[in-house]
Chains A and B, each alone.
Chain A
């Protein structure tokens, strides 16, 4: 089976940096995705990593270490609109996505 772990909640101040960790154990690996989901809405794609290293996209960066089964999503210069749930999803050997339970980030003024 697949096992994806990420913290349940994190709180940070506007303008600060937050790092959301994700560890995984899966049968095969074909990439790791991060999605943002505001309450009651659809998840939206943030980033994709399939090779080790850092992918940077504006204020958001994502890191992957396949040997450690570990990824993180880094959110810089936090804004109030970044308050949302962040989902870590791993594509296994069968190409299906397995999702973590999500990390709810609350940004305080």
Chain B
């Protein structure tokens, strides 16, 4: 079955540590996205990638980094520079950025920084 996987589902880290969240898709989609979801707020875009080896900052990129070395994979690193990292992180993909098709979402990773 095609889809998007994120791991782990729950992640706990100590303050000051970097942590990398995994996102893999086998939908053959060119575009991939990372969002952050906080209670009472809409999803906010962290980074997005239109194609392999290319990525762009979203609205809240500070304290985060990404890579897109393979079409299937778009890992997100939450660095110690991110002031409030505890949140629900969602990865998504679509056929292309500018196409009129929906984004498919992974199951999410809930990160808690202690």
Chain A contact residues, majority secondary structure: loop
Interface centre among B40, B41, B102 (most CB of A within 10 A): B102
Interchain CB contact under 8 A, A100 and B108: no
Write the chain A residue with the least CB distance to B45.
A96
B34 within 8 A of A: no
Q: How far is the CB of B54 from chain A (nearest CB, A)?
A: 15
Q: Is A27 in contact with chain B by the CB < 8 A criterion?
A: no
B58 at the interface (CB under 8 A from A): yes
Chain A CB within 10 A, most for which of B48, B103, B110:
B103
* Given A96-B58, A99-B42, 9 new contacts (CB under 8 A): A35-B105, A42-B4, A45-B103, A45-B104, A48-B102, A87-B42, A96-B45, A99-B35, A101-B42
**Which chain B residues have a beta carbon within 8 Å of chain A's beta carbons?**
4, 35, 40-45, 48, 58, 88, 90, 97-98, 100, 102-108, 110
> Chain A interface (Cβ within 8 Å of chain B)?
4, 8, 30-31, 33, 35, 40-45, 48, 50, 87, 89, 95-102
